[in-house]
Structure 1
Amino acid sequence: MTFAEIKAIAKERGIKVGGVKKIDLVRSLQAQEGNEPCFATGRAAECGQLHCLWIKSCE
């Protein structure tokens, strides 16, 4: 997913996107979805959040 697509999702959900880094924006979206905000923390293989929208692009 591109950063522009992530920004669009965030805007739709009422999250401010100006001056926010991709990682922080995805983590905000994860928290809003009820998931642990762990994007790009190196725990993708062990997080257990298989329903997370961001799991495929997580590191």
Structure 2
Amino acid sequence: MNLASVRHIARSKGVAPERRCKRELIQAIQIAEGYQPCFGQAPAGVCRQLDCHWHEDCRRHSRRH
């Protein structure tokens, strides 16, 4: 998902998107939704949260870092 789409989702959840990278913004959205802010922290890209809206992006992001 591109950053513009993430910013749109953030605004719809009441999260201010300004001056945040994609990872920080998604983690803020996760908190606003009542979830753990775990985006980008899947060891070796392995995540068991299969029903997470961010699952595929998270796995890709986690493998890069």
Identity %: 31
Bigger helix fraction? 2
Runs of 4+ off more than 3 Å: none
Range 7-16 or range 25-34, more displaced: 25-34
Gaps of 5+ in 2: none
Gaps of 5+ in 1: none
The answer on whether the counterparts of 1:10 and 1:25 sit within 8 Å (CA) in structure 2 is yes
How many residue pairs are counted as aligned between the two chains? 58
Q: CA RMSD in A?
A: 1.5
Matched, 1:35 2:35: yes
The answer on whether the counterparts of 1:35 and 1:52 sit within 8 Å (CA) in structure 2 is no
TM-score, structure 1 length as denominator?
0.81
